[in-house]
Amino acid sequence: MYNGIKNNQTAKFNYDDLVLPFLIFAMVSPFFGLFTVYFLRMSFDNVGTYGDFIGGSTIPFLTSITILYIYKTNNLQREQLEVQKSEFTLLQQEVKSTTEALQDQSKTNKMQRFENSFFIQINELRNANKEITKSFNQNIDSYTEPMTFEEIMTQIMGNINDKRSEELGKSFDKLHAQKKQNSIEGYYDLYKNLLSNAIDESGIYRLSYFNTFFNIIERSLQVIYHYKNFMDEWEFKFYSDYLYKEITSEGINLVLFDICLHSNKKELIKELKFDKYANVIFYNSSREDFRLLNYLLYGKPIIE
């Protein structure tokens, strides 16, 4: 088979083989004319006829070779362009593939750093929850069943709601006057102060482990916010849900109130839309509390 291919390649006509003989013939023909005149004693009249014969017989061949070379050059250029186009396409695909690989690697590295930071905060949050549970249960008598973290959060929110009701009773006339005047800003500023006082009077800020609890949650929200742009939508939802479950549905309202009323990090709640986890069906909760959150975060007042 190899011999057959070699024979076919040998048998293939190569125009380059004609070039050298034609060029030699074209250069030698004038000297051949001189030779016939001076040595063979041919008259110039006959030399002219001979020249016409040489010119007429060689020029068509030379012209044909020129045309064939132009055609061959054109084909070679076309083939080279096709090869270059193919190489450029392959190069583009390689660059695209490399870029995607680098982007994936970059995202993987960033997500690894995020998960390390995020789960460090989660572990600290779990420890804080245990500390809160331990501290609360140390203050109950031996005949009382120990409370879970969820039960403690429920009790604290019940105390805050009771204090809020007391504050509402004291400020009812002022709030009613703001409503009557349709002073939205004045109404929510007043309601914000009385809810803030109710939380303060609950005594949670006098307990250091609660301050630790709130600080850890703020740091967790900051970590999610910092890496948010590198996450897919499902990843963002997964980690937001994960943090919410660690806070618990019983504790989420207390966290939202603390950040929106007493912290400068309420923009984190807004940007991450973390207020969507607010427990609006929580026992003894007030719709006015959530309207206040909506006003503080988005400036959308609702007064009924």
Q: What is the CA radius of gyration of the chain?
A: 46
pTM higher than 0.85: no
pLDDT at 108: 81
Residue-by-residue pLDDT tens, the chain, 304 positions: 445 544 544 455 565 666 666 667 666 666 666 666 666 666 656 556 656 666 665 666 667 777 877 877 888 888 888 888 888 888 888 878 777 777 777 778 888 999 999 999 999 999 999 999 988 888 776 667 888 999 989 888 888 888 888 888 888 788 778 777 777 888 888 888 888 888 888 888 887 888 899 999 999 999 999 999 888 899 999 999 999 999 999 999 999 999 998 888 889 999 999 999 988 776 666 788 888 888 888 886 655 5
Residue type, 208: S
Going by C-beta distance under 8 Å and a sequence separation of 6 or more, which residues neighbour residue 288?
Answer: 191
Q: Is the dihedral of CA 296, 221, 250, 131 positive or negative?
A: negative
- For the chain, the domains span 2-99, 105-298
